[in-house]
Amino acid sequence: MSDDRSSVNGTASAKTWLEKLTQAFSGDPKNRTELLDQLREAQSNQVLDPESLSIIEGAMQVSEMQVREIMIPRAQMECVELSQPPIEFIPQIIKTAHSRYPVIGENKDEVIGILLAKDLLSLALKDLQDTKDQFCLKDILRPATFVPESKRLIVLLNEFRTNRNHMAIVVDEYGGVSGLVTIEDVLEQIVGDIEDEHDVEEDYYIKQLNENNFIVKALTPIEDFNEHFQSQFSDKDYDTIGGIVMQNFGHLPKRSESVTIEGFEFQVLNADNRRIRLLRVTPV
């Protein structure tokens, strides 16, 4: 009888949490924080597994983020010049091993189309020296898609799915190319980052190391950063602290690079060839 009662109580408990989850997604929470609190409470009660919670949090982040926060900066773009013969650009493609490349004219502001590496397979059986006069790169290009820096990631993801595109060229307010973004970049925001020894627990954007040093996720909303550190960073142009740090570097920084902004030293702890992931913050 006790086992039956325990089973019934367990089922009732599970239903209660499932009902709370249903309420959470039906608009019952008053704000984003309350929704996240309910989801995390459900995870702690084993209604949600940690992986599912991480994906939900990632999806919620994507709904608030803009293209400029995850794009590959212009300086890091691997491009092929339209005037190059195959013998010149194919070694570059082999070395970088990407599946898609913007093809440009005189400079990176003149993006003519997108080259798919697989479309070059027809050259595999040919002598590259002999293709110089026979091969026309423009004939195999796919149309380039252009998006503004301010486009929301959730909108971009829907466009990628609808148009079956995997890459978009990012332009600034003057029409100049500022970078590129791929569908993989967007999806990685949902499924989560690769963790290393510096990673902060999932529930935290900011973790204190000692009296004067903090580990901060680059995706920390500026509002949360200001509230924690009593700072006054503007969220007019960027939503996350990583966006402000990237702007002040003026380039995609590597690990251990640092910059001082408005009384705070930001040292990059984790970054890849696309974006900053983790920062050490020291008030100075």
Return the CATH superfamily for domain 69-189: CBS-domain (3.10.580.10)
Phi, psi torsion values for 197, nearest 5 degrees = -65, -15
Q: Would the CATH topology of 69-189 be identical to that of 206-283?
A: no
Chain-centroid distance of CA 139 in Å reads 32
The pLDDT of residue 155? 92
Task: Dump the DSSP string for the chain.
Answer: -HHHHHHHHHHHHHHHHHHHHHHHHTT-SSSHHHHHHHHHHHHHTTSS-HHHHHHHHHHHHHHH-BGGGTPEEGGG---EETT--HHHHHHHHHHH--SEEEEESSSTT-EEEEEEGGGGGGGTTS-GGGGTTT--GGGGPBPPPEEETT-BHHHHHHHHHHHT--EEEEE-TTS-EEEEEEHHHHHHHHH-PPP-TTPPPTT-SEEEEETTEEEEETT-BHHHHHHHHT-----SS-SBHHHHHHHHHSS-PPTT-EEEETTEEEEEEEE-SS-EEEEEEEE-
In the chain, domain spans: 2-48, 69-189, 206-283
CB-based burial of residue 51 (10 Å sphere; 0-12 exposed, 13-18 middle, 19+ buried)? exposed
What pLDDT is recorded for position 17?
Answer: 54
pLDDT (0 to 100) of residue 203: 45
pLDDT tens-digit profile, the chain (284 residues): 444 444 444 444 445 555 655 554 555 667 777 887 888 888 778 777 777 777 787 787 778 788 888 888 888 889 999 998 888 898 888 888 888 999 999 999 999 999 999 888 877 666 655 555 567 888 889 999 999 999 999 999 999 999 888 999 999 888 899 999 999 888 877 775 534 444 444 446 888 777 788 889 898 999 999 999 999 999 888 889 999 999 999 888 877 789 999 999 999 877 765 678 889 899 98
154, two tokens? 């959730």
| pLDDT score, position 175 | 87
pTM above 0.75, yes or no: no
Strands 276-283 and 111-116: unpaired
What is the pLDDT, as a whole number, of residue 248? 92
Topology of the domain comprising 206-283: 3.30.465
